[in-house]
Structure 1
Amino acid sequence: MTSTSTTPPRQSAAERLRAEHGPALTLGDDCDLPDDLQVEIDPGAHLSLGDRVSIRRGSTIQVHRGATIAIGDDVAIGEHTFISAMVGISIGAGAALSNMVDLHDHNHRARSATNTPDGELVPCASGFEGAPIVIEPGATLSNKVTITAGVRIGANALVGANAVVSRSIAPDTVATGVPATGHRTFDGVPVPREHPRTLTVGFFGTSIMEHLEAVNAQMTTQANLPEVGSKVTVEGWAQRGWVHRLTLSLRAAWAHIAFDVRNHGEGGATSRDIAGIVEADRATTGTDYDIVFLGCGINDVWRGFQGRVSEAVDLEEYTRHLTGMLDQLSGYTRRIVVISETPFGPIEDPDTVTSMNAELARYNAAAAQAAAAHGALFLDVWAPFTAAARHLTGDPAGLWSDGVHLTELGDTVLLQQTERLLAEHRIVEKLLDYPLLERHAALKAYAPMFARHRPAGA
């Protein structure tokens, strides 16, 4: 009598994971997964792996309740790597994670009285905060790299071994260290971009921010300029001046970032008017800003010297309006810069101008105090402006077109001071990180970034 025995075919890692997690897992074709890969997917969470994903032994992927992890095509993940999401982690196509890389998109919140009102001495009593981690296509993370919550690694970036990346890294950049910083750039290959970073920048102020100029397309088309002595028709108005030039400077310096610039400057506006503009903007658009530049006061003072008493705003009312705007803007703006007003130029006789500037200086001092009380930066352009006027050869009045509005040279002084402040405080670099939010708020706020990686209705 002959007996035969059959051994069931060995189940692959992919088959095991599909059986364990069902629709919570989207798994592409031709993936190379180790038998000991640990995958934990909580209810309401989703893990998506693209085609030809390779993961080496000893690695763990955790997708906590409601979160999403999306790993693109042709991603390679080394041994003993740990990936844990409470909000969302995106790893772009062709990215490479070496051995013992750690990605956590969340932190324990501080064990403060607010976060632990019951005073519980248990590990998770204070709750969690989180923000997405985005690793763009083609990026490479070397051995033992740690990526913290809210960080974006640019396309093709190369992060050196043992680095701790707590700030976003630009594309085509070599970064090393603790904390990791970029040391050099290179000519990277073109890669697809997913949900590129956009910074929303708001300007609230007077005509010095608005800076309208007459526009005719022919006037700016180098190949079709009008003949000298000919006439052109004004076709409209465009905002130029230092705000326009700063916008161009930001876009040139940070070409991989989109800047949504909203200039709400208004000619002739007092602090009373600008407070209304801030209120109306929030009520009608609901815009959250990454950075706001706020400046006012010159018209508050000027109206009094013009005899337009009903339109003038005294210092007490000015301070009240400015404080109110800072209170409101602080609720939905990540960084606020209060800009001092520029001094009056030769708009009246010298004694009157001296009196006007003495009064305007009091408003600027109040603005500096209000900014400090709200944790906003204060940019004092008064001192460099008066220094430039004092030392300017040939035409000391060359900073003003009419004693109030600025020439291109005056605009350049403002531009330089603003760029210096941005660089000194590394404002743009810090704003590139995704803001940390309480865990549940973060899931709601960042859900649109990961919607396409989840099944319909999930």
Structure 2
Amino acid sequence: MFIGDSITDCGRRDVAAPYGDGYMSLVRAFVTAARPELGLSWVNRGVSGDTVRDLAARWQADVLDQRPDWLSVKIGINDVWRFFENRHGEAVPLDEYTETLRTLLATTVEHTGCRLILADPYVIESDRDEPQYAMTRDYAAAVAVLAKDFGALHVPVQAAFDRVLASTTPADWADDRIHPNLAGHAVIARAFLDVIG
């Protein structure tokens, strides 16, 4: 099961049902092609616009009741972005983000025994001093700590974009630094595949 925001959603509730047409669909396709004998079932529970608060509100029905064997969580872009859209009431401070995510993960492991994959939030930005990049880096660092604490697989998505930006521009991967084109989703998918093997 994959859960998150619009980057995971990618039309999975509409024109690209049921998997979306983003990184999750690419990961599914490549893993299925490489290991068809596993007979894996895949579920996408991404919802566009979500923050970690929104995940918490739907966690029981969308995660716990489904009892996944593996759960991939990629959340945090909107938690940060809202600060820069002058939507401060919807932004999620780092301490709240970290503790909410920690609680969700602990509850999930306790109730389902599932394995976890945690992916970084990111912003596709070449300027390391740019304020949204700097804040996003802190949220990604929190994800890395949670991955270590829970023995989860950690997908360093921000680092993956940082690598490709060494020879490209943000516009090569997304029009708005957030919502990737297909090549941008492939960067995310490749980061997943590098980690899950």
Aligned 8 A contact 1:389 1:397 in 2: no
C-alpha spacing 1:355/1:422, structure 2 compared with 1 (3 Å): same
1:341 aligns with 2:121: yes
Residue by residue over 1:60-92, the C-alpha shift from the partner in whole angstroms, topping out at 9 and shown as x without a partner, is xxxxxxxxxxxxxxxxxxxxxxxxxxxxxxxxx
Aligned 8 A contact 1:340 1:380 in 2: yes
Aligned pairs for 1:408-427 (under 5 A) are 408-423=182-197
How many residue pairs get aligned? The number is 193
1:404 paired residue number: 178
How much does 1:263 deviate?
A: 0.6
Aligned partner of 2:153 among 373, 377, 393:
377
1:207 paired residue number: 6
Aligned partner of 1:308 among 71, 87, 91:
87
1:244 aligns with 2:20: no
Q: Distance in 2 between matches of 1:315 and 1:289?
A: 27
Return structure 1 stretches of 4+ with deviation > 4 angstroms: none
Aligned 8 A contact 2:116 2:153 in 1: yes
Relative contact order (C-alpha < 8 Å, sep 6+): which is higher?
Answer: 2
Q: Distance in 2 between matches of 1:213 and 1:325?
A: 23
How much does 1:208 deviate?
A: 0.8
How much does 1:396 deviate?
A: 4.5
What is the TM-score normalised by the length of structure 1? 0.40
1:274 paired residue number: 55
Aligned partner of 1:358 among 121, 130, 134:
134
Q: Distance in 2 between matches of 1:359 and 1:276?
A: 24
Q: Distance in 2 between matches of 1:360 and 1:264?
A: 23
SS in 1 for 2:57: helix
How much does 1:408 deviate?
A: 1.0
Residue by residue over 1:187-230, the C-alpha shift from the partner in whole angstroms, topping out at 9 and shown as x without a partner, is xxxxxxxxxxxxxxx1111111111289xxxxxxxxxxxxxxxx
How much does 1:415 deviate?
A: 1.1
Give the structure with the higher percent helix. Answer: 2
Structure 2: unaligned runs, 5 residues or longer: none
SS in 1 for 2:154: strand
Aligned pairs for 1:125-274 (under 5 A) are 202-212=1-11, 236-238=14-16, 239-274=20-55
1:115 paired residue number: none
SS in 2 for 1:260: coil
Q: Distance in 2 between matches of 1:337 and 1:310?
A: 29
Please tell me whether Structure 1 or Structure 2 has the larger radius of gyration of its CA atoms: 1
C-alpha RMSD of matched pairs (Å): 2.1
SS in 2 for 1:368: helix
Aligned 8 A contact 2:153 2:196 in 1: no
Aligned partner of 1:368 among 114, 121, 144:
144
Residue by residue over 1:21-49, the C-alpha shift from the partner in whole angstroms, topping out at 9 and shown as x without a partner, is xxxxxxxxxxxxxxxxxxxxxxxxxxxxx
Q: Distance in 1 between matches of 2:63 and 2:101?
A: 16
Give the structure with the higher percent strand. Answer: 1
How much does 1:266 deviate?
A: 0.9
How much does 1:418 deviate?
A: 0.9
Q: Distance in 2 between matches of 1:391 and 1:344?
A: 13
SS in 2 for 1:240: coil
C-alpha spacing 1:288/1:362, structure 2 compared with 1 (3 Å): same
Aligned 8 A contact 1:264 1:277 in 2: no
Aligned 8 A contact 1:389 1:399 in 2: no
Q: Which AA in structure 2 matches 1:386?
A: D
How much does 1:255 deviate?
A: 1.7
Aligned 8 A contact 1:345 1:404 in 2: no
How much does 1:333 deviate?
A: 4.1
What is the TM-score normalised by the length of structure 2? 0.89
